[in-house]
Amino acid sequence: MSGYEQWKQTNISAFSDFLFRQELLPNLFGKETPFILYWAGKELARKYPLATIDDVITFFEQAGWGNLSLLEEKKDQCELQLDGPLVAMRFDYGGECTFQLEAGFLAQQFEQQKGYVTEAFEQQKRRVKTVLFTVKWDRKDES
């Protein structure tokens, strides 16, 4: 059983994730936190490559990152939405929060799946407590 398979069986502590993301990392890295989290998300995706968007959706749920759904896919980009109780709690906490870990993870997963250099951008919708991700790949630039 792989490391990922073993961890899928456990429950995630939302408080632990909160302490790590909202308290510890910003104190350590300051304004560089979003950039480091994006890079970390890409590294996680390399370690846990997933074959399909459905696998990515399942991974988000099992990682405690929230409910991910594919809204639209075009030839060189897609739109995804992240919501759920933990996402809402992060918005409710106040202050700054970033979803760059998730954005980096999505960018790398799509890059691996599509075979093109890919980037992901987050757009926070605080009023409705959701995050929209735009994932774009460059069909002229193979990875």
Within a domain: 43 = yes
Within a domain: 46 = yes
Structural contact between residues 120 and 131, judged by C-beta atoms closer than 8 angstroms: no
Within a domain: 9 = no
Within a domain: 90 = yes
- pLDDT of 8: 52
- Give the structural domain span for 106: 14-142
Looking only at the bridges linking them, the beta strands covering 116-125 and 77-83 are unpaired
Please list the pLDDT of the chain residue by residue as tens digits (143 residues).
455 555 455 555 777 888 888 889 989 999 999 999 999 999 999 999 999 999 999 999 998 899 999 999 999 999 999 999 989 988 888 778 999 999 999 999 999 999 999 999 999 999 999 999 999 998 887 87
- pLDDT of 10: 52
Tokens of 32: 């560089």
Beta carbons within 10 angstroms of residue 142's beta carbon? 11
Give burial (CB, 10 Å; 0-12/13-18/19+) of 65: buried
Within a domain: 6 = no
Within a domain: 102 = yes
- pLDDT of 93: 81
Number of domains in the chain: 1
| CATH number of the domain that residue 37 is part of | 3.30.1380.20
Q: What are the φ/ψ torsions at residue 63 (nearest 5 degrees)?
A: -80, -10
